[in-house]
Chains A and B, each alone.
Chain A
Amino acid sequence: MNDLIYGIELTITGLLIGSMYSMVALGFVLIFKASSVFNFAQGAMTLFAALTLVGLIPMVGFWVALLLTVGVMGGVAVFAERAIFRPLVGAEPLVIFVATLGLAFILEGSAQIFWGTQPHGLKLGLPVEPLMIGGVFVSMPDFISALAAAFFVILLVLFFHKTRIGLGLRAIADDHVAAQSMGIQLRKVWTIVWVLAGIVALAAGMLWGARIGVHFAMSLIALKALPVLIIGGIESIPGAIVAGLIVGVAEALGEGFIGPLVGGGVQDIMAYLVALLFLMFRPYGLFGEEMIERV
């Protein structure tokens, strides 16, 4: 097989995976945008959501379970916002960062208390046979997952641009003080953002769960989002999407073409190397805004 076709296949594979990285990164971006909190518990939330879903499916069927899980994640989000982050309003972002670590411990521990330590499969009944388009191989389930991720992202964008709450969110992201003076209730919006992040966690948990199963290591998927955040900028939704794709492609191509030169295993490092390149040339990410200080 020639390298061109192989390269195209890897690029497609990378793009499809990349869309799933974007999903995970979105959870971080949402919360950071609205409240400047770097939510390290996003991975634990993903695990919690997915475990809840697969735990409920045998009891009540898929759709009811999905609905219930949305409810549970909403509850978790409201709890986190009320009990942990509201008392910490005004604290340094680093302090809140560590509080999210605490939240991660709580969520991981309780997920395993409620749902046990055993892993589960989550099969959404997607076709798995590969698709060949003109001699180029395309992974069917990845393609469908990517479509689902894209659909979800579009929903989010619509939410931000068309609904009143969404517009309020964007106003807050731009300027907390101004938004408050416009009568937007910060706290209400924060609660909504946490709920949204919980739902993003569930969506990511479903997509990844279908791919790798639902188990404890799922919380580690969040690590995949970190280079995405550097490249896209921590507070940019389009940034997270584009950067997710970039990371996906860089990983695939890096593994395919640079990997053989150094004995393979460069996939994860590629993501960070690309991120460092971006740091050199666009330190605040593709779409992030550099904070110009006035003196």
Chain B
Amino acid sequence: MRPGSTSADEEADSDAERSLDNAPAGEADAGESRDAISVRRHSEPPILRTEAISLSFGGVRALIDVGFDVLTGEILSIIGPNGAGKTSMANVISGLYRPTSGRIFFKGRDRTAFSPQAVAALGIARTFQNLALFRGLTVIENILVGRHLHMRSGLFAGGIHWGTARREELENRRRVEEIIEFLNLTEFRGRAADTLPYGLQKRVELGRSLAAEPGLLILDEPMAGMNRQEKEDMVRVVVDANVDLETTIILIEHDMSVVMDISDRVVVLDHGEKIAEGDAETVRQDETVIGAYLGQEA
């Protein structure tokens, strides 16, 4: 990422860069720069709590009694082999699937039965494993859709496009430009989303979810199918989002090295069940995990 020109940004950037350049040993550095957040998150109640979530489709059980907490300000990774139920969990949290049983609390309040747009209104945003961009829209417009909940103008304001509506549009476009800068997409801002290469599209999607200024961001395999360079860029952006924007992140990822580098804690799913939870190192050493996941992959 080409850093912005302020000194504050410089600092954050270089921190992030260092953490990657020295990976995996640089983890401690990254940790240091996040000390303040770290302190706060342990003193606050979890931003999201899932309790005994089960989900089944016509007899097939995708999730069985999965429950974990997401702490404010952390990066929590959910890992597991293919078909372990990672995306199902993301879909449950974002309201796309209604769990068969179990409950979900966001900031202490039960919102198990919320619809996706109600979940979004709470401040939970997400990206998708497969690209889910609005293909007919430009990069700017895609990210502007992310601002949907921060804008007010409805049918008449939009149709007349004068005064408040115009000011609101301008203001939100300004915010979008900031995200475009942040994600280094300036060069492509006017392009139709579906004409961009895969890696950029993934980045636009991240930008769209960041534009929502979420309290909790779910990233479903944001680095799948990327080459090494693209992955590194993405990791940097994720860490920046976590640190600079103070966004709590649930990261669903396949790439173990990435997960181990940047996660505060890791939840491991296998066949729809949670088999381990803890910080990266604990999980890495867990026998069950090695058996179910690492053993397979390695």
Interface residues of A (CB under 8 A from B): 294-295
Number of interface residues of B (CB under 8 A): 7
Q: How far is B91's CA from A134's CA once the two chains are assembled, in angstroms?
A: 61
Of B126-134, B139-147, B195-203, the segment with at least 4 beta carbons within 8 Å of chain A is B126-134
Chain A residue with the shortest CB-CB distance to B129: A295
Q: How far is B91's CA from A143's CA once the two chains are assembled, in angstroms?
A: 54
Q: How far is B132's CA from A295's CA once the two chains are assembled, in angstroms?
A: 8
What 1/0 mask marks residues of chain B from 76 to 88 whose CB sits below 8 Å from any chain A CB? 0000000000010
| Residue contacts A-B, CB under 8 angstroms, 8 given | A294-B130, A295-B87, A295-B91, A295-B96, A295-B128, A295-B129, A295-B130, A295-B132
Q: How far is B96's CA from A295's CA once the two chains are assembled, in angstroms?
A: 9
Question: Chain A residues with Cβ under 8 A from B130's Cβ?
Answer: 294-295
Shortest beta-carbon distance, A284 to chain B, in Å? 16
Which positions 82-130 of chain B face chain A at CB distance < 8 Å? Answer: 87, 91, 96, 128-130
Chain B residue with the shortest CB-CB distance to A293: B96
Question: Chain B residues with Cβ under 8 A from A294's Cβ?
Answer: 130
Q: How far is B130's CA from A294's CA once the two chains are assembled, in angstroms?
A: 9
| Cβ-closest 8 pairs across A and B | A295-B128, A295-B96, A295-B91, A295-B132, A295-B130, A294-B130, A295-B129, A295-B87
Q: How far is B62's CA from A294's CA once the two chains are assembled, in angstroms?
A: 14
Question: Chain A residues with Cβ under 8 A from B87's Cβ?
Answer: 295
Q: How many A-B residue pairs have CB under 8 A?
A: 8
Q: How far is B129's CA from A295's CA once the two chains are assembled, in angstroms?
A: 7
Q: How far is B91's CA from A295's CA once the two chains are assembled, in angstroms?
A: 8
Which positions 233-278 of chain B face chain A at CB distance < 8 Å? Answer: none
Q: How far is B128's CA from A295's CA once the two chains are assembled, in angstroms?
A: 6
Shortest beta-carbon distance, B19 to chain A, in Å? 31
Shortest beta-carbon distance, B56 to chain A, in Å? 14
Shortest beta-carbon distance, A291 to chain B, in Å? 15
Chain B residue with the shortest CB-CB distance to A292: B57
Q: How far is B130's CA from A268's CA once the two chains are assembled, in angstroms?
A: 45
Question: Chain B residues with Cβ under 8 A from A295's Cβ?
Answer: 87, 91, 96, 128-130, 132
Q: How far is B130's CA from A6's CA once the two chains are assembled, in angstroms?
A: 58
Shortest beta-carbon distance, B55 to chain A, in Å? 14
Shortest beta-carbon distance, A268 to chain B, in Å? 35
Question: Chain A residues with Cβ under 8 A from B91's Cβ?
Answer: 295
Shortest beta-carbon distance, A290 to chain B, in Å? 12
Shortest beta-carbon distance, B250 to chain A, in Å? 15
Shortest beta-carbon distance, A49 to chain B, in Å? 40
Chain B residue with the shortest CB-CB distance to A295: B128
Question: Chain A residues with Cβ under 8 A from B132's Cβ?
Answer: 295
Chain B residue with the shortest CB-CB distance to A294: B130
Chain A residue with the shortest CB-CB distance to B126: A295
Known: A295-B87, A295-B132. 6 other contacts (CB 8 A): A294-B130, A295-B91, A295-B96, A295-B128, A295-B129, A295-B130
Chain A residue with the shortest CB-CB distance to B96: A295
Q: How far is B87's CA from A294's CA once the two chains are assembled, in angstroms?
A: 10
Shortest beta-carbon distance, B202 to chain A, in Å? 15
Q: How far is B87's CA from A295's CA once the two chains are assembled, in angstroms?
A: 8
Q: How far is B91's CA from A294's CA once the two chains are assembled, in angstroms?
A: 10
Shortest beta-carbon distance, A169 to chain B, in Å? 28
Shortest beta-carbon distance, A33 to chain B, in Å? 24
Chain A residue with the shortest CB-CB distance to B128: A295
Q: How far is B130's CA from A218's CA once the two chains are assembled, in angstroms?
A: 48
Q: How far is B88's CA from A238's CA once the two chains are assembled, in angstroms?
A: 34
Q: How far is B93's CA from A95's CA once the two chains are assembled, in angstroms?
A: 38
Chain A residue with the shortest CB-CB distance to B220: A295
Q: How far is B128's CA from A294's CA once the two chains are assembled, in angstroms?
A: 10
Question: Chain A residues with Cβ under 8 A from B96's Cβ?
Answer: 295
Question: Chain A residues with Cβ under 8 A from B128's Cβ?
Answer: 295
Shortest beta-carbon distance, B180 to chain A, in Å? 25
Shortest beta-carbon distance, A97 to chain B, in Å? 19
Q: How far is B205's CA from A295's CA once the two chains are assembled, in angstroms?
A: 14
Q: How far is B132's CA from A86's CA once the two chains are assembled, in angstroms?
A: 30
Q: How far is B220's CA from A294's CA once the two chains are assembled, in angstroms?
A: 13
Chain A residue with the shortest CB-CB distance to B90: A295
